[in-house]
A and B are shown apart, each in its own frame.
Chain A
Amino acid sequence: MMKIRTREELNQKYREYSRSLKSQKKQILVCGGTGCVAGGSLKIYARLQQLMLEQGINCVVQLEKEPEHNSVGIKKSGCHGFCEKGPLLRIEPSGILYTKVKVEDCEEIIEKTIVGDEVIDRLVYHDLDGKAYDKQDEIPFYKNQTRIALEHCGKINAESIAEYIAEGGYQAVAKALFDMTPEEIIEQITESSLRGRGGGGFPTGRKWASVLRQTEPEKYVVCNGDEGDPGAFMDRSMMEGDPHKVIEGMIIAGIATKAHHGYIYVRAEYPLAVERLKIAIEKATARGLLGKNILNSGFDFDIKISQGAGAFVCGEGSALTSSIEGNRGMPRVKPPRTVEHGLFDKPTVLNNVETFCNVPPIINKGADWYKQYGPEGNHGTKAFALTGNVVNTGLIEVPMGTKLREVIFDIGGGVKGGEFKGVQIGGPSGGCLCVSATENHLDLNMDFDSLKKVGAMIGSGGLVVMNNSNCMVEVARFFMQFTQNESCGKCVPCREGTKRMLELLTDITEGRGTLEHITMLEELADTISHTALCGLGKTAASPVVSTLKYFRDEYIAHVVDHKCPAGQCKALVNLVIDPDKCKGCTKCARMCPVNAITGEVKKPHTIDASKCIKCGTCMDGCKFGAISYE
């Protein structure tokens, strides 16, 4: 591959590749994110290529070739975001989005949409009312989003550096190298009020300035891709879908802080992200955009990948650097902070994937442009992983300060399988938002400061929607179990405290709870939050504190009335058959794994509560809806 030696050569390549891209008559973008790949998108990609070859359609896979007119481009893109409807396929330039595509659909797609100009109605998105949307940008899920960090995700081939360059990639590096001093870069970042997207919300500019101030000649830039929050996959999608943007952001951080070595720490659970980053680093190095003397500026920068081995606590700064060094990933007492003594004891810039993805657009377009989004002090956009009981599961990006209602009902399409009960935001360190007599969080602005006021946090951006079949005590127990599992064991409050809290919560969900349990939970929560060593421990109690605050009735129902209002805590519910609805078809009696159901044919059946294991098989199987929780 030819090296790009100077800024002029980069500009020349930019013109060449974008011309080549524009000369393509049509482009097919097959989603190559984890979700769609699991749904079979790679087979669709191969089938489409094969079909075009057979039919003699001029099909272009690489941009590096000379532009040919009337050609059709086909590429594997990063995550389109609308994972619920995958595998997804987008057709440019018309912007058609096909959902739930199957291999058998490929022939028709080529014939009607690629050779012809017809839209296949069966494959486009239909909303719950049956309204069809031909174009991706018209679908409410996409229409209400603003994409900055995810700008290229789903639009470019994640494995092609040429496409990234064609979209203006690495121009921000050139600008930072030749038009700006490190101080000016930091000034722009500070001015944009970009704050850490990993959860902490620490001002990025201030962090970079502290590292620049250090006189130590050896410094590091570390990208935290250890996205361990259950229910979050924003960083994964960015690393998979637009790896060069992560790299570009890191190089700029290097230029700004005079660091020459970078590390990307990725979870082992994200094999596709590791592969795409490896390819991107290899290509950027081969093109001379990483390595020695980048674009003949005299600046050197290299990046290595370090893979995690399954420890949530490694998302914490000092634990992460300790893991890269080959040790147990345990946090240490701070100060000294990572900016002074980080990786290999050297000054280190440690930022999250999404934070780095926001850097190139800010450098290219300026802080003032970035500040048009979001409220004062919380500028920009935030990516969220919208999951749980919501109609449109997927990856979204909205301006900071967007109301929760818009996210769940406009973009998310509403709640699935029941009524809205609440959302859990910020994972095991975050809290719950809900609608109750005193609170209405649906109209809350989602930004760092507003969420903090109600005891929740934006965290890395996981939004898990819950309906009335989800028990909040059980949710709190689930998160406590997670934190307890992941506690590294170094400090007593977290190691012992989370264990005791988990025991108390388990007692409550299994029907052994008393009012005293709630008091003890509150006491422990207070102690752990004040005395634990790192962020994991300090926030471990947040889901409990927040559910106790907003769903106290539910806790009381468990310990005083011995009832689980949501019907999820099996020890506290009984399955019963409604004799008016039961037709006596005997299906449930045959399905029951423990033979707890008896009754004569065509007469109402009954469940023997002493035998019942409350598995719910009978309830799922009953065609008449006669079985329910008491």
Chain B
Amino acid sequence: MKKEEIKKLDEILQAHDYNPSLVIAVMQDIQKEYHYLPKESLTYISKALKLPEAKIYGVATFYENFSLDAKGKYIIKICDGTACHVRKSVPVLEEFRKILGVSEEKPTTDDMMFTVETVSCLGACGLAPACTVNDEVHPAMTPEKARELIKELKEESAK
């Protein structure tokens, strides 16, 4: 790891008082920084928090929000809660996957631009079917809107 990366991790650890019971919060902050949990960072916090690497790995793999794989610049999450499901969220998900050429097994595009995943209920059921792009909610999605959204994001990124 580079020096500035270690510095960043130290800052995160310090903000949580090196408290091993706050390991989830520490990992959440690391993920906020990198959009995933780099392997070396987990080894590093294992030593700093005096927790076995196996335990850290166990916690990281238990919770759905943690990812050990790098993600794209735009993370698209399609809500598949009940309300979205009955208002047909699956065709929206399929459309995103089709235009970006990704799947459940391979959620990220090769150019590391987009990651498509499902998320359990966002609680935005009034806007069903909903999806989020980097935490911004897009309401009442349809396959057509999905195509437009991707076009907009590609244009935005090209600027």
Residues of A within 8 A of B (CB): 34-35, 37-39, 83-84, 86, 227-233, 236, 268-271, 306-312, 323-330, 385, 387-389, 393-394, 424, 427, 462, 464, 466, 470, 475, 478-479, 482, 485-486, 488, 615-616
Q: Do the beta carbons of B63 and A310 come within 8 Å of each other?
A: yes
The stretch from B5-13, B68-76, B132-140, B148-156 touching chain A is: B132-140
CA distance A38 to B123 in the complex (A): 12
B92 is an interface residue with CB less than 8 A from chain A: no
- A268 with B28, Cβ < 8 A, contacts A233-B123, A326-B23 known: yes
- A310 with B126, Cβ < 8 A, contacts A37-B137, A230-B81, A478-B82 known: no
Q: List 16 A-B contacts (CB under 8 A).
A: A34-B122, A83-B127, A228-B120, A230-B81, A230-B83, A231-B83, A232-B125, A233-B125, A269-B123, A307-B28, A310-B66, A311-B64, A330-B62, A389-B87, A478-B85, A488-B62
B113 is an interface residue with CB less than 8 A from chain A: no
CA distance A327 to B91 in the complex (A): 37
- With CB as the reference atom, state the residue of chain B lying closest to A616: B91
Q: Do the beta carbons of B120 and A464 come within 8 Å of each other?
A: no
B65 is an interface residue with CB less than 8 A from chain A: yes
Q: Do the beta carbons of A269 and B126 come within 8 Å of each other?
A: no
CA distance A427 to B82 in the complex (A): 8
Q: Do the beta carbons of A388 and B62 come within 8 Å of each other?
A: no
Listed residue (B23, B82, B120) with the most chain A CB atoms within 10 angstroms of its CB: B82
CA distance A35 to B86 in the complex (A): 18
User: Min CB distance, B71 to chain A, in Å?
Assistant: 14
Total A-B pairs, Cβ < 8 A: 129
- A470 with B86, Cβ < 8 A, contacts A39-B139, A86-B126, A309-B24 known: yes
Chain B residues with CB under 8 A of A34: 122-124, 137
- With CB as the reference atom, state the residue of chain B lying closest to A271: B135
Listed residue (B59, B62, B63, B138) with the most chain A CB atoms within 10 angstroms of its CB: B62
CA distance A227 to B22 in the complex (A): 21
CA distance A326 to B128 in the complex (A): 33
Q: Do the beta carbons of B59 and A268 come within 8 Å of each other?
A: no
CA distance A403 to B21 in the complex (A): 46
User: Min CB distance, B27 to chain A, in Å?
Assistant: 8
User: Min CB distance, B123 to chain A, in Å?
Assistant: 4
CA distance A329 to B28 in the complex (A): 15
CA distance A466 to B21 in the complex (A): 43
Q: Which of B99-154 contact A (CB under 8 A)?
A: 119-128, 130, 135-139
- With CB as the reference atom, state the residue of chain B lying closest to A36: B126
User: Min CB distance, A414 to chain B, in Å?
Assistant: 16
- A393 with B62, Cβ < 8 A, contacts A38-B139, A269-B120 known: no
CA distance A268 to B25 in the complex (A): 11
Chain A residues with CB under 8 A of B138: 38
CA distance A388 to B58 in the complex (A): 36
Partner of B122, one of A229, A269, A306, A324: A269
CA distance A230 to B89 in the complex (A): 13
User: Min CB distance, B145 to chain A, in Å?
Assistant: 13
Q: Do the beta carbons of A424 and B62 come within 8 Å of each other?
A: no
Chain A residues with CB under 8 A of B136: 38
- Per-residue CB contact flags for chain B residues 9-39 toward chain A (1 = under 8 Å, else 0) read 0000000000011111101100000000000
- A388 with B123, Cβ < 8 A, contacts A307-B25, A307-B28 known: no
**In the A-B complex, the 10 residue pairs with the closest CB atoms:** A83-B126, A230-B81, A309-B63, A310-B64, A387-B83, A233-B123, A38-B137, A310-B65, A231-B82, A387-B125
Q: Do the beta carbons of A326 and B59 come within 8 Å of each other?
A: yes
Chain A residues with CB under 8 A of B59: 326-328
Chain A residues with CB under 8 A of B65: 268, 309-310
Chain A residues with CB under 8 A of B63: 308-311, 329
Chain B residues with CB under 8 A of A478: 82, 85
Q: Do the beta carbons of B121 and A230 come within 8 Å of each other?
A: yes
Chain B residues with CB under 8 A of A482: 120
Listed residue (B20, B28, B120) with the most chain A CB atoms within 10 angstroms of its CB: B120
Chain B residues with CB under 8 A of A271: 135
CA distance A67 to B145 in the complex (A): 47
